[in-house]
């Protein structure tokens, strides 16, 4: 009896201790799992910029390559706004466009791959991207050079430069293919005089088959960046007004 009386509290104490340790371990495991969950979510979110009707992104300076000893067009900011009928796409460069184009080639500033149905299983594949697919259209925002006798939206012409103008070219992807087909001519799609650091265009929804309420994803590439996956901005998720 005496022995039992002594043993029982002792045994109970041990059991309580073990249970308490188990609870501690379980809490620690839960805490580690929760921390991991938060970390994974944070990383996933950091790779996607989401917006309703509008998004804005900054981009580092100096992350472009020279082309034949000439400076690459260095994008520092992008904004995309939907107004119910069209997308207004604005890029800001580090320097005035004339700095990049005065003795340089006309061409794209950014390339946008549009996943217009928000579905990775439909559409084509980004050429320089890693695991970037599901695109229905690509749009290049282009800086063109106006000459006395003509206009160059890719490359250059002979003659005196008279100014610069924005334009865009659209390409349509085929299922699982990398090389989308051109469906317009940038020369005929010119939009705005470029006088400073800003290159902008407006793109009617109909050009890329989207409408009000569409939920689309985009990958944007800085055109004069490296020819690999690091030339892309974080993924954009946008709800269209």
Tell me which residues touch Ca ion (CB under 5 A).
59, 63, 74-75, 115, 117, 119, 122-123, 134
For residues 68 and 229, what is the distance between their CA atoms, to the nearest angstrom? Answer: 22
Give the distance between the most distant pair of CA atoms in the chain.
113
Q: Name the minimum Å distance from CB 108 to Ca ion.
A: 14
Least distance to Ca ion, CB of residue 80, Å: 16
Spatial separation of the C-alpha atoms in residues 31 and 37, rounded to whole Å: 10
What lies within 8 Å, CB to CB, of 231 at 6+ separation is 128, 221, 222, 225
Residue 168 or 219 having the CB closest to Ca ion: 219
Distance of CA 209 to the CA centre of its chain: 19
Cβ closer to Ca ion: 59 or 111? 59
**Residue 117 CB, nearest approach to Ca ion (Å):** 5
Query: Of 59 and 152, which CB lies nearer to Ca ion in the complex structure?
Result: 59
We find the least distance from the C-beta atom of residue 232 to Ca ion, in angstroms, to be 12
Nearer to Ca ion, 107 or 134 (CB): 134
* 8 A C-beta contact, residue 139 and residue 172: no
Place of tokens 């005929």: 188
């Amino acid at each position: 009896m005496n022995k039992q009386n002594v043993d029982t509290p002792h045994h109970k104490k041990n059991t309580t201790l073990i249970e308490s340790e188990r609870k501690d371990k379980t809490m620690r495991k839960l805490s580690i799992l929760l921390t991991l969950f938060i970390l994974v979510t944070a990383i996933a979110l950091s790779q996607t910029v989401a917006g309703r009707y509008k998004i804005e992104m900054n981009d580092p300076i100096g992350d472009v390559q020279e082309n034949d000893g000439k400076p690459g067009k260095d994008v520092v900011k992008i904004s995309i706004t939907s107004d119910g009928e069209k997308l207004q796409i604005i890029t800001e460069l580090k320097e005035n466009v004339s700095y990049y184009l005065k003795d340089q080639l006309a061409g794209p500033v950014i390339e946008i791959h549009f996943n217009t149905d928000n579905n990775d299983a439909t559409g084509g594949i980004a050429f320089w991207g890693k695991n970037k697919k599901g695109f229905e259209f690509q749009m290049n925002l282009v800086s063109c050079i106006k000459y006395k006798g003509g206009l160059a939206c890719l490359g250059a012409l002979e003659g005196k430069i008279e100014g610069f103008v924005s334009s865009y070219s659209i390409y349509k992807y085929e299922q699982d293919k990398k090389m989308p087909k051109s469906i317009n001519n940038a020369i005929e799609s010119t939009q705005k005089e470029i006088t400073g650091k800003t290159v902008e265009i407006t793109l009617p929804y109909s050009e890329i088959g989207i409408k009000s309420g569409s939920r689309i994803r985009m990958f944007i590439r800085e055109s004069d960046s490296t020819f690999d996956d690091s030339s892309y901005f974080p993924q954009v998720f946008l709800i269209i007004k």
